[in-house]
Structure 1
């Protein structure tokens, strides 16, 4: 293992860029940026594999220690650990390599209730690659192992979620683009064993597959949202759908409480927002919930007849779904084609804070229109708006997409983002780019009150 001390802070904005009301042209006063950047080490940057939105997680905190994972310049899985607030990282290059040239093959990590680190990496329609720490708190990994031994030959999009009691859920796609199913496993830290909960929760019926994200709220309810894709062509994405589980993934219901008959199909799924094919609807969704357990989904797409994809937040108010069009983008683009694409905007993350009388919310994103910076749209009233946009970091981030420490956000309301300038060529390409600095952006989210 080695220790890494950063040479100095990255250049950050001394103040946020002027925040613009999305519903008006008048600017707001400049807001002071309470942002800190902590450097880690150099990581692979020839494509976006280290900085894709579906990493669950790139960062994770347990009992005051924060863990990180990334590929280095040779495609080796590197793990790191620090005490919260510290700038020094303990780094541990592992014995494992991944095919970092495929941007799908991201690393996902989580720490269970006993303090043991779990790592999954290098998945795009291939065998499960999974290992866990040799002891609680350890960065050293044991041998690669199976979970249940079933449905582990064609794995994509592995994601960990920690339940309130310390158990883990592991979600992944079994099958390929346009013909895959959602699998859920559950890990018991006491017995150190995995159990299959769902072999086929979201059934593509051999004709389509779902791209999902999940969220565990304070009551332990598991919220799941997804888009359907009809073929390997990204343009065939359509509709935002929703389900929730109140018993850790065993049984599932609609937002009304009506129980699903499993598996869920395109014909039986609750639709939170109807979006037709060829609407530039992106893979994945961002998922959150307010303090009452009402789901919140974020993504982007364009309206029928429109030319510009817009970020949108789909909110359930306890009675029905409403879609909020943030409406600040001005340039169009197309998602048609296969493989990981070079896209001018990032898939977003959505965070909701319900301490006040109305839920506050933050949409974290990157947009070419704003110079590919780390940007946030925020509102002090999720149900009625308006929204403002600010930039957290005054430097371009290339093809970066946001992933964050979900457990730290849940515990303390602090946002820690994985930060790295990366690049992405169209159609799964790589660029002749050397390693780039990996870091963590630390921010306690605020949003100015509306006049």
Structure 2
């Protein structure tokens, strides 16, 4: 039986009569079976009202074509199409009417008979909202394709302009379909893009870059009206910059530490201790002693009155002010509600390591100790693994001072996988702490661990798995989490669903070809829910999740693509709001979570290069909603 036919049959059955208890039980069983077949949780939203889109032909007034109206390539709508001049700025413009202000969906029909993209800026009412949108080759001039956008419009008349950014000009433009008010997912509006460094260090290691990795907490951060970012230069020096928001110029400071090795694990993480106004940097670690620098007191709490210079920073240390951590990986700074600063880090290695915490009270660091365990047994595919490590999707405080940690496990024995070409990550786990990371509880509130003791979170801890998944699906570690205004955690995970295969044999390539991201969250009743984001991953790397003040979700996927969903829909109306055009981002990007409260999403990204040729590192800003 075909899946589509089966679902249609179930819908017809429901429509004929009110489901009885017995019928409803059968339907629930049926839906559960469909869920297993598709490899994703199913959401069954109610029908949405849609008005028919209004079509605006490029050859008809009030449309403006900076070129000629031609009809020599078949398949167009109306009486012709706009063949723009081959020049930068030779635009086509539509004037559309919106019945109400809000988010509009635009569908542009185009043809490009060349093999090269013809990029164009999308300009709404005189404001560039998406730069250098790629209008790819369609195979022939009579092969027409549609490109869809979501933009904010005003009530009444609006101008929609496509302005080419290269001397090749526009693709041929047939028409614009315009529809307003049907998409509830929040929009994003391009505000600007600034350059931090024209030639940052570039090398690909573990399929990633050292200047942009999902586990940087944080690579870019906002505090007290200033934004801070850090990266390694082409000469491998540590650079830290600041700018006054919203649009001040970047000021840069070079620190004396140089990146020690070509390893993308060795990122720079920034932290701010509000108790004394210091900026902290943890960097260049992968199973080695930390490189640590902190600024003078007051540098970030009163930035407008303090100059930005290297003399404001202390010496590079191999400990936290004399507190040795041993060999560590993945330093993440976490600010506590009262303004202290904590450092999360891993000791040991992949497949056999533990998570630990240290804390800074404004004057001294204290090592709190381990809170996860490498011990326990995991058995699958006829073999057993007895060591592992926890990989955090995030560790962050939410309302009420609760510390949330979502994670996955990595097994030490790869024989538990169906194929050694996979990666032994499994399950999504969740624990929380209400006493600043001293004790840890599962979702039901049961105490699982005490930091620094012999009782730690382990693979055997009861009730910690909130989304089970075996090692055979290319689940990636260290993706992203965010906490909503009600204190409920939201997590982004990604893997190859079971509808593609039950046994991944090539972790990287099958994630690129078949990987999908999923939104996993806890609802107000304390139950965990899951929905597949209906946008192909088309990448090996990880996505970033942020929530705005209304709890709308924004997922920044690899290459800087932005997909959003509204809280009002129950996070079911996932819509692509920005396709990454014009960024040329390598892959994973880093977001500024501290700036979200002001309604702006800042994304730190590095442009794609080749070999070890340095490339620009930049920050792009979007207005949310």
Aligned pair in 2 of structure 1 residues 442, 100: CA closer, same or farther (>3 Å)? farther
Count of residues in Structure 1 that have an aligned counterpart in Structure 2: 400
What SS does the corresponding residue of 2:448 show, helix, strand or coil?
coil
Q: Which moved more, 1:103-112 or 1:80-89?
A: 80-89
1:100-158, Cα deviation, whole Å (9 max, x unpaired): 51111000011211221100110111112111113431653212332276662321111
Where does residue 130 of structure 1 map in the other structure? Answer: 292
Where does residue 195 of structure 2 map in the other structure? Answer: 39
Q: Which moved more, 1:396-405 or 1:123-132?
A: 396-405
- Contact persistence 1:214–1:224 (CA under 8 A): yes
What SS does the corresponding residue of 2:536 show, helix, strand or coil?
coil
- Contact persistence 1:46–1:422 (CA under 8 A): no
Counterparts in 2 of 1:30-429, with a 5 A limit?
A: 33-42=189-198, 43-47=200-204, 48-99=209-260, 101-113=262-274, 114-137=276-299, 140=310, 141-145=313-317, 146-147=319-320, 152-189=325-362, 192-197=363-368, 199-205=369-375, 207-212=387-392, 213-231=394-412, 235-261=423-449, 262-268=455-461, 270-307=464-501, 308-317=514-523, 318-329=525-536, 344-355=539-550, 359-366=551-558, 372-381=559-568, 383-391=570-578, 393-395=580-582, 397-409=584-596, 411-422=597-608
- Contact persistence 1:57–1:160 (CA under 8 A): yes
Shift of the alpha carbon at 1:313? Answer: 0.6
1:69-121, Cα deviation, whole Å (9 max, x unpaired): 10000111001111112341111111111135111100001121122110011
- Contact persistence 1:35–1:392 (CA under 8 A): no
Q: Which moved more, 1:210-219 or 1:270-279?
A: 210-219
1:299-339, Cα deviation, whole Å (9 max, x unpaired): 101223424221101011132111111133286xxxxxxxx
- Contact persistence 1:71–1:100 (CA under 8 A): no
Indicate the structure whose relative CO is greater, using CA pairs within 8 Å and at least 6 residues apart. Answer: 1
- Contact persistence 2:336–2:397 (CA under 8 A): yes
Shift of the alpha carbon at 1:166? Answer: 1.4
What is the TM-score normalised by the length of structure 1? 0.82
Shift of the alpha carbon at 1:225? Answer: 0.6
Unaligned runs of 5+ in 1: 1-10, 21-25, 332-343, 367-371, 424-430, 447-451
- Aligned partners of 1:27, 1:321: CA distance in 2, in Å? 37
What RMSD over aligned residues (CA atoms) do the two structures have, in Å?
Answer: 2.6
Where does residue 337 of structure 1 map in the other structure? Answer: none
What is the TM-score normalised by the length of structure 2? 0.60
- Aligned partners of 1:32, 1:365: CA distance in 2, in Å? 14
- Contact persistence 2:545–2:555 (CA under 8 A): yes
Shift of the alpha carbon at 1:396? Answer: 5.0
State which structure, 1 or 2, has the greater radius of gyration over its C-alpha atoms.
2
Shift of the alpha carbon at 1:378? Answer: 2.9
What SS does the corresponding residue of 2:391 show, helix, strand or coil?
strand
- Contact persistence 2:129–2:191 (CA under 8 A): no
Q: Which moved more, 1:65-74 or 1:256-265?
A: 256-265
Aligned pair in 2 of structure 1 residues 302, 91: CA closer, same or farther (>3 Å)? same
- Contact persistence 1:417–1:441 (CA under 8 A): yes
- Contact persistence 1:35–1:442 (CA under 8 A): yes
Where does residue 369 of structure 1 map in the other structure? Answer: none
Shift of the alpha carbon at 1:352? Answer: 1.9
- Aligned partners of 2:389, 2:493: CA distance in 1, in Å? 18
1:223-246, Cα deviation, whole Å (9 max, x unpaired): 101110003866100000001112
1:174-196, Cα deviation, whole Å (9 max, x unpaired): 0111011001111111xx11112
- Aligned partners of 1:248, 1:32: CA distance in 2, in Å? 35
Aligned pair in 2 of structure 1 residues 72, 39: CA closer, same or farther (>3 Å)? same
- Contact persistence 2:188–2:624 (CA under 8 A): no
Looking at secondary structure, tell me which structure has more helix per residue.
2
- Contact persistence 2:556–2:562 (CA under 8 A): yes
